[in-house]
Amino acid sequence: MTQNSHQTLGEFIIENQEDFIYSTGELSRLLSSIKLATKIVNYKVNKAGLVNILGEYGNENVQGEKQQKLDVFANETFIETLSQREVVCGIASEENEDFIEIKANRNQVNSKYVVLIDPLDGSSNIDVNVSVGTIFSIYRRVSEPGTPVTLEDFLQPGNKQVAAGYVVYGTSTMLVYTTGNGVNGFTLNPGIGTFYLSHPNLRIPGDGSIYSVNEGNYVKFPQGVKNFIKYCQTEEDNRPYTSRYIGSLCSDFHRNMLKGGIYLYPSGTNNPQGKLRLLYECNPMAYIAEQAGGKASDGYRRILDINPKELHQRVPFFCGSKNLVEKAEEFMAQNPE
């Protein structure tokens, strides 16, 4: 794999498409479509304080969460961009109640891929100029090409993903993705609008000294999570660990991947099954984590082995450095719910 800081994302996709077992060029075009939508959203995010796109949109999404104006813009941008490029047969978004069948023209009848997306992760941070992101997940459809896309095409376990990635719209904009052959990160040069390979072959340290969790929910956490947090805070060996929590999954995950740490969003909060969505957030991040040498769990089992039952299913999420996730699982096993 070329490790050239001057290599663009487009060049990298083309050069490495032979590593992908379904090397037809269709996945490369799909990733290029995501790249284009990312740049459009990035442009709006960076102008958010200068144009009328801050604040609430006035509606709630299917999750019962208040939509921000940028939520709506990002959702529409990704759907429109993916729909017009003749590369997908269906899209499911965290912002939409049902999946969208793409049947724009006859060239898309035989499209093999469906995309699941969280268009703007961490959108509650938009108005205070804190990093937000995008998360995406790609599967090959299981229904027959040429027939209407079905719910079953989207309700696949995460171990069936063919690609997944995220974007952090931060001090610099980074796109990180995997097609099952390691994880690579690309940084946007805003002057010319091009992503360049900046973080080749990303690996999550096996250990870490950061734990990321909303401790404001501590009293509602399962006992196993409480015990794990106390373990992180105990003065012993290389502990206590450092607590860092942004409230944007992309940002928290990205920091922990680079520095080593664990992200937790357990059950026992205001959301009994956890807040994060299995299909739009947990599966893609789990796939990236495993490809980078990390681990992802619901506290008891591998995230990627969970068979989803509905589009907006929520699950507890423990993800990051392998040894830290396994330590959290030990505490959960000692205090099963």
Q: Report phi then psi at 205, rounded to 5.
A: -55, 145
281 labeled part of a ligand binding site = yes
Contact 189, 297 (CB under 8 A): no
Chain centroid to CA 264: 14
Q: How far apart are CA 335 and CA 337, in angstroms?
A: 6
264 labeled part of a ligand binding site = yes
Q: How far apart are CA 131 and CA 163, in angstroms?
A: 23
122 labeled part of a ligand binding site = yes
Token representation of residue 81: 């961009």
Q: What is the DSSP string of 190-221?
A: TTTTEEEEEETT----SS-SEEE--GGGGGGS
Token representation of residue 329: 């699982």
245 labeled part of a ligand binding site = yes
Give the CA dihedral 167, 286, 31, 75, nearest 10 degrees: -60
265 labeled part of a ligand binding site = yes
The C-alpha angle with vertex 251 and arms to 248 and 253, in degrees rounded to 5, equals 100
300 labeled part of a ligand binding site = no
Contact 224, 331 (CB under 8 A): yes
Query: CA nearest 261: which of 224, 303, 210?
Result: 210
Cis amide bond preceding 240, omega within 30: yes
Q: Which residues of 38-73 are buried (b: 16+ CB within 10 A; e: fewer)?
A: bbebbebbeebeeeebeeeeeeebebeeebbbbbbb
Q: What is the DSSP string of 111-146?
A: --EEEEEEEEETGGGGGGT--EEEEEEEEE-SSPTT
Chain centroid to CA 158: 12
36 labeled part of a ligand binding site = no
139 labeled part of a ligand binding site = no
Report the SS3 class of residue 201: coil
94 labeled part of a ligand binding site = yes
Token representation of residue 317: 């999420």
Q: Which residues are annotated as a binding site for Mg(2+)?
A: 94, 118, 120-121, 281
Q: Which residues are annotated as a binding site?
A: 94, 118, 120-124, 214, 245, 263-265, 275, 281
Q: Which residues are annotated as a binding site for substrate?
A: 121-124, 214, 245, 263-265, 275
